Structure 1
Amino acid sequence: MDVLTKEQRHKNMVAIRSKNTKIEVCLRKALWHKGIHYRKNYKVLNCHPDIVITKYKIAIFCDGDFWHGKTFEKYDVHTNAKFWHEKIKRNVERDLDNTITLRDNGWIVLRFWETDIKKHLDECVAEVLRQIELRKNTTPGGTPWKNQ
């Protein structure tokens, strides 16, 4: 049984965003400040990365700790626990499938946890810059990379 009324639960769930979350906006602003041009929520091979750098085929996901299973055990879910465990499990499986699909098609996939973006934003931006430099110079096979 839910501790909230149906109207309260609806209001709560409507407020949960899937696009333009605080962590996405924070990372995007930091990347833009470094002069990195990107697309947001751009569809790539049936995946929807939060940030896509099309020029270098880099897909960036900003994963919420709860929704993507990093700290699910930390949360004490009492109501409808089976549903939430299954939902988070499906999210994790979808994340893995998306990562595999993108990598198999020549994309670099970066996933940053919510807490990492909040606490170590500079390190996240540095990793993106490092991957851009790697992509500028070589392909995964070591040959000069051409934007396709």
Structure 2
Amino acid sequence: MRPGGPEPLNPRRRNMQANRRRDTGPERAIRSALHAAGLRYRCDYRIDLRSGHRVRPDIAFTRRRIAVFVDGCFWHSCPEHGSNPRTNSGYWGPKLAGNRERDDRNTAELRAAGWAVIRIWEHESVAEAAEKIMNVVGRSSAPGSAGNVRDRNDDT
């Protein structure tokens, strides 16, 4: 510790700490559009699965059992915009692969528990994302009957 105060943060550390887990710009924009359309939902709602895993969708329609994830292109390896960093690839390769595996596992476990899962990429327009969500919410008349939107390999 330097005299007179704590050590200044390493710029890389400060940059990593600025990455939010929730309330990202794309997530807030989509939530705003859904709210303006009259939909009400829960944010960062914790779902305890039978497997013992906990999942926190960005947006959850709890009565209809619809979970919405707004995935960042870098962190979730978007096929269009995701990139593999060249620096420290020994760390980032397994880290990003682990994120994809966790996403796939969470999606499968939520579906097995009767939840519909919608995954939105951060690069999708707010209007398209909101319309996709509203279509699924509008189709679901009973809990768990909403269906599922966008598998990992889909282009939509």
Q: Establish whether TM, by shorter chain, passes 0.5.
A: yes
Q: Following TM superposition, by how much is the alpha carbon of 1:78 offset from its aligned partner in structure 2, in angstroms?
A: 2.5
2:91 corresponds to 1:83: yes
Structure 2 partner of 1:133: 138
Give the unaligned 5+ runs of structure 2: 1-8, 49-53, 146-156
* Matched residue SS, 1:79: coil
Spell out the pairing of 1:47-62 with structure 2 (5 A cutoff).
47-62=55-70
Return the alpha-carbon distance in structure 1 between the equivalents of residues 128 and 111 of structure 2.
22
Structure 1 partner of 2:121: 113
Q: Greater helix percent: which structure?
A: 1
Distance 1:134 1:17, change over 3 A: same
**TM-score, normalised relative to structure 1:** 0.82
- For 2:137, give the aligned amino acid: I
Distance 1:129 1:76, change over 3 A: closer
When the two chains are superposed, the root-mean-square deviation of aligned CA atoms in Å is: 2.2
* Matched residue SS, 1:115: coil
Correspondent of 1:16 among 12, 16, 19: 19
Give the unaligned 5+ runs of structure 1: 1-5, 141-148
**TM-score, normalised relative to structure 2:** 0.78
Moved over 6 A (4+): none
* Matched residue SS, 2:140: helix
Structure 1 partner of 2:42: 39
Q: Following TM superposition, by how much is the alpha carbon of 1:74 offset from its aligned partner in structure 2, in angstroms?
A: 5.5
Return the alpha-carbon distance in structure 2 between the equivalents of residues 22 and 73 of structure 1.
17
* Matched residue SS, 1:19: coil
Conserved 8 A contact 1:65-1:114: yes
- For 2:133, give the aligned amino acid: V
Q: Following TM superposition, by how much is the alpha carbon of 1:75 offset from its aligned partner in structure 2, in angstroms?
A: 3.4
Identity of aligned residues (%): 34
Structure 1 partner of 2:29: 26
Conserved 8 A contact 1:27-1:125: yes
Return the alpha-carbon distance in structure 1 between the equivalents of residues 95 and 79 of structure 2.
14
Distance 1:73 1:56, change over 3 A: closer
